[in-house]
Structure 1
Amino acid sequence: MAATLPVPIEFSLPEGWRPAPPEELGAPGVAFMALHPRPDAGFTANITIDGDFRPDEATLADMAEEAVRRVREVAESVVVTSRRELGSEDAPGLAQRLTLSAVTGGTRRDLVQSQVYLAFLDPGSPHKRAVIRLILTCTAAQEEGVVGDFQDFLRSVAPDTGAEA
């Protein structure tokens, strides 16, 4: 069963991307997954969404480092090529880009992962903080062709207030 997000969000998938069941694709802890329509040499670019409540004092940079450590457990090499803060004090975010080599589907691949962390703060209680993580994983060869889709996807992400437009 797919994980659930700590806060509801809404978003639009880029044209051609299709939702996929995370549990059937070996993605534990993922609440949502979408696949690109054209694989590259057997690897399908994907967007995943997960998140959790983080009442601790960890910064978004700390959480990004935690993610790098987890990726290093399964990848042959991992390099953080960029990391930058985004958003505002009321709606902080962080983006990082990783390059890595990993074996997927029995084949060693050079992959790129773009990770974006969005913090949702409870104005009435600063210790109630939810963090949503949005990740694009693709081959190095695919990156130029899918990063624009990921940026479009990110621009569409918003809290789901339940209000009808």
Structure 2
Amino acid sequence: MAQDRVSLPLGFDIPEGWVPVEPASVGAEGAVFVAVHSAPDGEFTPNITLSVGQRPDHAGVTDIADEAVERLGRTMAALEVLRRKVIGAPDAPGVTQVLRVRTGEGQELVQTQVLLTVPGTTPADRLILEIACTATPETARRLGDDFRRFVGSVHVRRDFPADEGEDS
């Protein structure tokens, strides 16, 4: 992706049944936060990832969503965009998209992505939050409400005290 990874003081609520893990421990080095579901679904453990990237260019939010699809497609045997919807306000647009993917091992998964714009003081300071939930199709339906609650709770913390964790 044409964005630089950055850290940002974010607050969010981790849904019950989800356990935070070190991103590198699950191969998500670019993420700032990863949680896995405590009840794995067979051979695949459902996960939520949160990444933050700076986007000083003028790419539109749908172009950024296309980049996310292309990036994921490079690691999967097959990928199909099932649904996409532009959300948010003109000054802070976002995209939700649901992808069906097949791994190299033939496992069918669903990834729901939410890309949100955090406007900066100048266009060069614009950030993109990329939030994704990956699970088997059956589990994705069951955990959809958890993911929606997580996304709805994500916010930039203006009052970032040094002694608090990131899930407040």
TM-score normalised by structure 1 residue count: 0.89
In the alignment, what sits opposite 2:81? 80
**Count of equivalent residues:** 159
In the alignment, what sits opposite 2:11? 10
Correspondence 1:46 to 2:47: yes
Distance 1:157 1:28 in 2: 20
In the alignment, what sits opposite 1:110? 108
The aligned runs of 1:26-41 (5 Å cut-off) are 26-41=27-42
Letter in 2 for 1:147: G
Letter in 1 for 2:108: D
How far residue 127 of structure 1 moved from its aligned partner, in angstroms, is 2.7
Q: CA RMSD in A?
A: 1.9
Higher strand share: 1
Distance 1:163 1:32 in 2: 17
Q: Is the Cα–Cα contact under 8 Å of residues 91 and 120 in structure 1 kept in the other structure?
A: yes
Distance 1:96 1:131 in 2: 15
Unaligned runs of 5+ in 2: 162-167
Distance 1:159 1:90 in 2: 16
1:134 aligned to 124, 131, 134, which one?
A: 131
Q: Is the Cα–Cα contact under 8 Å of residues 6 and 53 in structure 1 kept in the other structure?
A: no
In the alignment, what sits opposite 1:25? 26
How far residue 108 of structure 1 moved from its aligned partner, in angstroms, is 2.4
3-state SS of paired residue (1:127)? helix
Superimposed CA distance per residue, residues 131-163 of structure 1 (whole angstroms, 9 cap, x where no aligned partner): 110000001121111111000111111111116
Letter in 2 for 1:117: L
Runs (4+) off by over 6 Å: none
Superimposed CA distance per residue, residues 32-75 of structure 1 (whole angstroms, 9 cap, x where no aligned partner): 10001111112110000112110011111111111111111111
